[in-house]
Structure 1
């Protein structure tokens, strides 16, 4: 999870603060010292931390907190608002030209994931019913053109690539002419990167910028680079005039300082964050939602958006009916598991649920291994059609056959079947308590015994 270390520290600090009842100025100062240390450890820019703490302190020791019935919660609310403002306040949307195509210049150092991010952004635009064209203007890095072409084939997005013998400025201008001729409404120009900033790189990017007059200049930066990523982004911004930033590898970064610092230092908003390796793992960056996740409040809006995009509403309604009446079969389980997997890695989904941050200790033994999900699916697929519909048919002999067929042990098969039966019973009881199933159940309704998910 992104910001895991920072989130854990801050949630611990504010948990103590909220339990104290009436707060003194010393209580607030002590908590803010912890916040300051947590932010510095997360590699947030020193000056950014200093200004951030000063703003919170000014508000936190004011009358609104000391006279409140829930002072600790008021302080958390202040930190939430200030953290949101620090990361940009509101979502910075992608520009769209009144005279298509909209031209996006992709810039960044070599190794930051620029070419892959170009593909991910094309995939994102495709989902928004746009018709993007990718332009291969990186003629220096070995296989850069080929990489973009492979991504294009995978995504079914056209790639304009006249070859490594053509000048990058000419490739960019010809690519735009090609886009106009073929009705593309977005052009993504993948430019060359270097291992460090140099005059040749900046001169070339400046020439491309002057030639094509892009609507967006997006800087792709690796979150794991830490504070150095912010310094590089600032250098690029001063020379090119960036309009936004794409942060990659945010799912792997336990510090997250780059994401928190980049807007404050450069003035450029983070427009997208890459949260995984898959081509659809690029999300618009919402400062208010990220702040909420860091403070353990969840991110319900993103969770809902993921569900709406990946889960069939009619199937979900039918699943709810089956859960209420205990008609939920192994086939239904398999289908629901596949739908939830489309939403992304389960640990990321759990992080979006309010309050899950407080349950980290209790959930240390929770099994959310993607490989385990595949092994569980193999168990179900090794059953006959009749066995999937009627779990009561699963005799010891049949279970042994299923274990052999799925590459699991009989113990693992028995454990899964028991967890499945427990889940089905619990969901029936739960729906009864909620009054004829007014609240929906699902795969997260039950964790199997021993702190494991039933897959």
Structure 2
């Protein structure tokens, strides 16, 4: 989605040629209008956006930078709806969140993602399975809860006074009692969805809302749903009241207009975005940061926050010292691979780095769990003794042969991986030394010069 809108903005920006050329501005606005409508942005939103951009650009003076500034400011005005961003807590725990949305929007997965996000904030979270309409919904939530090591409350957890086949409402009430008595910080209720909005669905949600008095009601909107998603969100808002929207599948090939349309047409704040398939792929929707990513400038602040919540400060200092001394071991490598996986998908991480946003699409299917090279390295390391992991210099011929047999690899694979690891350690040591980064920049400059000569 970032790629699609970013390219549209760049195309429009390239229509601006001269500082005082109104024809260029008209062409840029026309190109932007076509792009926004193509990307499923509602015509009213498009009209308002273009009007603001034109007025601000003319006031500041027609030019590329002023047009870009006007575009950023106008996007921010639309996305800055009244309300909170991210997560807010009730004055008295537990904070109760009811998740709503149509079937297929990613509601159950998003519930787990939100629980995982709160867990990284050291909150005690209880997931509640109230989606009894979809087969395997309870089992899916159970598996996700086990994966992220968060407690789950489901039909069989209800008390003896509850019927053998409890209703979603009875499960929700029993779960609230459990959340209060066991002092949970947050309770997240995964409710049923339907393929289309119906009376039974709304009555069930209203009953749960009245019984729980939730602090928040989140609507999970599929980024691929376009204007249909906006209409559905509007209906849910009118029927039960929505305090925030979470956009799922934001990393998909969606056109992207739903984000602007929900904010402008409904005035409901976008709270989070699901930026990948991995559980950690959930980012706070902060307008300034989202616009920065749309403009291709990345989002270092969000990346830093996500990293800080995963990586221990002392561990980071220890690794830094090891890199400087060239003492980075295979054990350290495996540990850091596991840490990187906690940050989310590679495409999600790269999209936050300035200048690398256009690479996110190419990394969409890169998975450290399924990467053949990472699998080989893990197999090799797990076939090594602790002494060999900590000191690769002792890996003589007989040791490498034993490791190859134990890992199912060839000796040539072991030799190649060890050599790559050794070269990487030496490079890291050089970059960590004084003047290391300057040396790297000089090398890159030389390589660029050679490339330009071909």
TM-score between the two structures when normalised by the length of structure 1: 0.80
- Name the CA distance, whole Å, in 2 between partners of 1:346 and 1:85: 31
The equivalent residue for 1:290 is 290
The equivalent residue for 2:431 is 430
In angstroms, what is the RMSD of aligned CA positions?
3.7
Matches within 5 A, 1:162-201: 162=158, 165-201=165-201
Count of matched residue pairs: 431
The equivalent residue for 1:324 is 324
The equivalent residue for 1:44 is 41
Q: Does 1:345 align with 2:345?
A: yes
Change (3 A) 1:243 1:108: same
Secondary structure of 1:377's counterpart equals: helix
The equivalent residue for 2:121 is 128
The equivalent residue for 1:137 is 130
The equivalent residue for 2:450 is none
Shift of 1:21: 7.0
- Name the CA distance, whole Å, in 2 between partners of 1:374 and 1:208: 46
The equivalent residue for 2:68 is 76
Matches within 5 A, 1:41-440: 41-62=38-59, 64-66=60-62, 71-88=63-80, 92-154=85-147, 155-161=149-155, 162=158, 165-357=165-357, 360=359, 370=368, 371=371, 372-382=373-383, 388=389, 406=407, 416-434=417-435
- Which piece of structure 1 moves more, 293-302 or 198-207? 198-207
Change (3 A) 1:100 1:431: closer
Shift of 1:252: 2.6
- Name the CA distance, whole Å, in 1 between partners of 2:406 and 2:355: 40
Deviations 1:244-289 (A, max 9, x none): 1122222234432222322112211111222333434333222221
Secondary structure of 1:342's counterpart equals: helix
Check the 8 A contact 1:3/1:253 in 2, yes or no.
no
- Name the CA distance, whole Å, in 2 between partners of 1:76 and 1:223: 25
Change (3 A) 1:125 1:398: closer
Check the 8 A contact 2:281/2:343 in 1, yes or no.
no
The equivalent residue for 1:5 is 4
- Name the CA distance, whole Å, in 2 between partners of 1:39 and 1:412: 50
TM-score between the two structures when normalised by the length of structure 2: 0.80
Change (3 A) 1:366 1:46: closer
Change (3 A) 1:235 1:188: same
Gaps of 5+ in 1: 450-455
Check the 8 A contact 1:44/1:258 in 2, yes or no.
yes
- Name the CA distance, whole Å, in 1 between partners of 2:386 and 2:91: 55
Gaps of 5+ in 2: 448-454
Shift of 1:397: 7.9
Change (3 A) 1:73 1:397: farther
